Amino acid sequence: VSDVKKVYKKYGRCVVAVSEGIADSKGTPIAAKFIKEVDSHGNVQLSGSGALGDLLAGEIKAKAKISRVRADTFGYLQRSFAGLVSEVDAKEGREVGRKAVQFATSGIVDGSVAIKRKKGKTYGVTYERVELRSVAKETRHMPDNFINKAGNDVTKAFIDYARPLVGKLPAIGRFTGYKVKKIKG
């Protein structure tokens, strides 16, 4: 909340991106405290609910004394713009489908196709079949070295990991010479 207050005071606005799996100090997902729906493997269904966003927006309103707070919960929204998918993501998605067909037509009908990142500075991956039970019930957590010590930003290690997956970012324009007035309140 103090980070939001500081940014809001400086810029008159603040955008916060939070994972649906954000957890408390004990490692329990905050959303798990009030979402009771679980999948067939016993995992709490964290996605698709606006409850976490509403909870966090309420906290910001109450504790930061900011009256205009909005929470947007993405579900399928980010998946609905096929033209904006990264080149690597599209290529790897197609290859996973090809591998699944290859496994199925060779008689291997159980399991899941996994993408394994190759070691080294140059980005590369391999594809392999893994037992479904080894991935379906498991949650893979973001490594600690991907989040800064303050817990409010990603590190260079994360950027280095994500850059090949994201690919080139689109060029954006910027207006100069006109500043929007800060809205207090």
Q: Which amino acid is at 183?
A: I
pTM of the shown model: 0.73
Q: What pLDDT tens digit does each residue of the chain (185 aa) get?
A: 999 999 999 999 999 988 877 888 888 878 777 777 777 777 766 666 677 888 889 999 999 999 899 988 777 677 777 777 889 999 999 999 999 999 999 999 899 999 999 999 899 999 999 998 888 777 788 899 999 999 899 999 999 999 999 988 878 888 787 777 777 76
Given CA atoms 101, 102, 106, 110 in this order, what sign does their dihedral have?
negative
Predicted local distance difference test score (pLDDT) of residue 47:
67
52 in Cβ contact with 22 (< 8 Å): yes
Looking at residue 185, its pLDDT comes to 62
Please give the pLDDT value at position 46: 65
In the chain, how many H helices and how many E strands? 4, 2
